Amino acid sequence: MKNKKIIFLTGTRADFGKIKSLLRIVIKEDNFHVYLFVTGMHLQKKYGYTIEEIKNEFNSNIHLFSNTTSESTMDLTLSKTIRGFSQYVNEIKPDMIVVHGDRPEALSGAIVGSFNNILVSHIEGGELSGTIDESIRHSVSKLSHLHFVSNQDSKKRLMKMGESEEKVFVIGSPDIDLMNSKKLPSIQKVRAHYGFDFQKFSILLFHPVTTEIKDVDNQINSILNSLVKSKTNCIVIYPNNDPGSRKIISIYKSRLKTNKKFKVFPSIRFEYFLTLLKHTDFLIGNSSAGVRETPYYGIPSINIGSRQNSRNPNAESIINCDFNGSNIFKAITKVKKLKPKPQVQYGKGNSDLMFLDILKRNQTWEVNIQKIFNDTY
pLDDT tens track for 177-199: 999 888 999 999 999 999 999 99
* CA atoms of 108 and 37, how far apart (whole Å): 12
Residue type, 111: I
192-196 own/partner pairs: CB under 8 Å, 24+ apart: 193/272, 194/263, 194/265, 194/268, 194/272, 195/263, 196/235, 196/263
Residue 347 has pLDDT above 90, yes or no: no
How many residues are given for the chain?
377
pLDDT (0 to 100) of residue 201: 98
* Mean pLDDT to the nearest integer, 137-154: 97
Other C-beta atoms closer than 10 Å to the C-beta of 325 total: 16
- Return the CA Rg of the chain: 20
* Structural domains of the chain in order of their starting residue, each with its CATH number: 4-177+349-366 (3.40.50.2000), 187-335 (3.40.50.2000)
Nearest CA among 294, 240, 9, 41 for reference residue 123 = 9
Q: Please indicate, yes or no, whether the overall pTM of this predicted structure exceeds 0.75.
A: yes
- The percentage of the chain sitting over the pLDDT mark of 90, rounded to a whole number, equals 83
Residue 214 has pLDDT above 90, yes or no: yes
- pLDDT tens for residues 41-96? 999 988 889 999 999 989 889 999 999 876 568 899 999 999 999 999 999 999 99
pLDDT (0 to 100) of residue 376: 80
- pLDDT tens for residues 304-340? 998 887 676 668 899 999 999 999 999 999 999 999 9
pLDDT (0 to 100) of residue 132: 87
Edge-to-edge strands of the sheet including 32-38?
Answer: 62-64, 32-38, 4-10, 96-100, 119-123, 146-149, 168-170
Q: Quick one: DSSP state of residue 316? A: T
Residue 5 has pLDDT above 90, yes or no: yes
Edge-to-edge strands of the sheet including 301-304?
Answer: 262-265, 234-237, 202-205, 282-285, 301-304, 318-321
* CA atoms of 283 and 232, how far apart (whole Å): 12
pLDDT (0 to 100) of residue 99: 98
Residue 239 has pLDDT above 80, yes or no: yes
- In the chain, which ranges are continuous DSSP H helix? 13-26, 51-57, 74-92, 104-115, 132-143, 152-160, 175-179, 187-194, 216-230, 245-256, 270-279, 293-297, 325-335, 351-359
Residue 35 has pLDDT above 80, yes or no: yes
pLDDT, averaged across the chain: 94
pLDDT (0 to 100) of residue 72: 67
Nearest CA among 97, 96, 101 for reference residue 149 = 101
Q: Do the beta carbons of residue 201 and residue 237 sit within 8 Å?
A: no
Contacts of 251 (CB under 8 A, 6+ apart): 217, 220, 221, 224
* CA atoms of 234 and 361, how far apart (whole Å): 47
Phi/psi for 235 (5° steps) reads: -90, 120
